[in-house]
Amino acid sequence: MTDSQRSLSLLVFQDLWRHKGLFSMALINLCCAFAVILTVHHARQGNIVLEQLLERQDQLKVEYRHLLLEENSLAEHSRIERLASSRLQMIRPSPESEKVVRLP
């Protein structure tokens, strides 16, 4: 370092020391600005995740409605009766073959 560079560095340091209150306020202001930037960034990331989760929730609701419709169609009495007669060869008993059991 040359003498002129040293004297310039010394002058800068002395000027900062003389205005240390102003320098500290500028430094605090800069830190607050970075904190705001970081907070906004995190908030935006949180909103992106929230939107993705809401989208997934809508997809799951639609899938749930489809599953309910499928369950209702599979559980219809006429379908069960038709499957019982065709696949299992079950028939409805006649009134004469029914027996009533009474508990004491």
Task: Give this prediction's pTM.
Answer: 0.55
Measured at the alpha carbon of residue 63, what is the angle toward residues 58 and 64, in degrees to the nearest 5?
95
Chain segment 30-53, per-residue pLDDT in tens: 999 999 999 999 999 999 999 999
What is the average per-residue pLDDT within 79-99?
84
Domain ranges of the chain: 3-87
Return the structure tokens found at 5: 């560079």
Helical axes 3-18 vs 20-74, angle rounded to 10°? 70
